[in-house]
Amino acid sequence: MKKRLGVLISGRGSNLQALIDAVADGRLDATLAVVISNREDAPGLDRALAAGIATVVVSHKGWPSRQDFDRELVRHLQTYRVDLVCLAGFMRLVGQPMIDAFPHAIVNIHPSLLPAFPGVDAQGQAVAYGVKVAGVTVHLVTPELDGGPIVAQRTVPVLDTDTAESLSARILVEEHRLYPEAVALLLAGGWQLDGRRFISASR
Ligand code: GAR
């Protein structure tokens, strides 16, 4: 049985597209079971529809508490029998109900070399700080923002001429390569955690 992925988005969905393309051409042996967006106008929803993937919109607004929003996400993900949750530009903190429902089975992609520059506008933070090397991180999700065990990283040089936009564009190219690879690594199994360290099976 193929593992079933649920992808959570908030916007453009280019990393979702990278997963769709990787499944289509066999780099990723999985089923894209559902795409959930917290914004009904997220362009990524059109990518899911075009690929024939079920979509659900769960607005983050209007819930009595954050946990209630989380529980609604869990409900949909369980309805679609999701094994691994992939955050792809999902700009909400993931709370305890999600972590409890999917232990070590929520993964995120972040456009910096964590633990540097967590949070929003990581690429702008990197340019403003003046680092010479930036990059991308895929990590397991814990309640701490962008703080979970690191599954994979790639570096991207920062050029003297870079703006946040130009750096973002080059990092994005690496994101689209790395995310399907890292998801495939997770799905292959045999990996373990040693404290915060992700030890892959192929070591
Ligand atoms: C990507 O650069 C992703 O790494 C980033 O948002 C962008 C979403 O683009 N995520 C974060 O910053 C999470 N903290 P996309 O919607 O085209 O995939």
Helices (H) and strands (E) in the chain, counts: 6, 9
Q: Which CATH superfamily is domain 1-103 in?
A: Formyl transferase, N-terminal domain (3.40.50.170)
Give the distance (Å) from ligand 1 centre to CA of residue 187. Answer: 21
pLDDT of residue 78: 98
Give the distance (Å) from ligand 1 centre to CA of residue 64. Answer: 27
CATH of domain 110-139+153-203: 3.40.50.170
The structure tokens 């024939």 sit at 52
DSSP conformational letter for 155: E
Q: 151, 140 in Cβ contact below 8 A?
A: yes
**CA–CA gap between residue 134 and residue 169 (Å, rounded):** 12
Give the distance (Å) from ligand 1 centre to CA of residue 160. Answer: 23
What DSSP string describes 113-139? -TTSS-SS-HHHHHHHHT-SEEEEEEE
pLDDT of residue 9: 98
Bond into 180 cis (ω within 30): no
Could you state, in order of their start, the residue ranges of all structural domains in the chain?
Answer: 1-103, 110-139+153-203
Domains 1-103 and 110-139+153-203 equal at CATH topology level: yes
Length of the chain: 203
Ligand 1: residue whose CA is nearest its atom 13: 110
Active-site annotation, residues? 110
pLDDT of residue 192: 97
Ligand 1: residue whose CA is nearest its atom 17: 14
Out of 175, 176, 177, 183, mutate this one to test ligand 1's pocket (max ligand atoms within 8 Å of CB): namely 175
pTM: 0.97
Residues flanking ligand 1, CB < 6 Å = 9, 11-15, 44, 88-89, 109-111, 122, 146, 172, 175
User: Band of the pLDDT at 156, cuts 50, 70, 90?
Assistant: very high
The structure tokens 């969905």 sit at 13
pLDDT of residue 202: 64
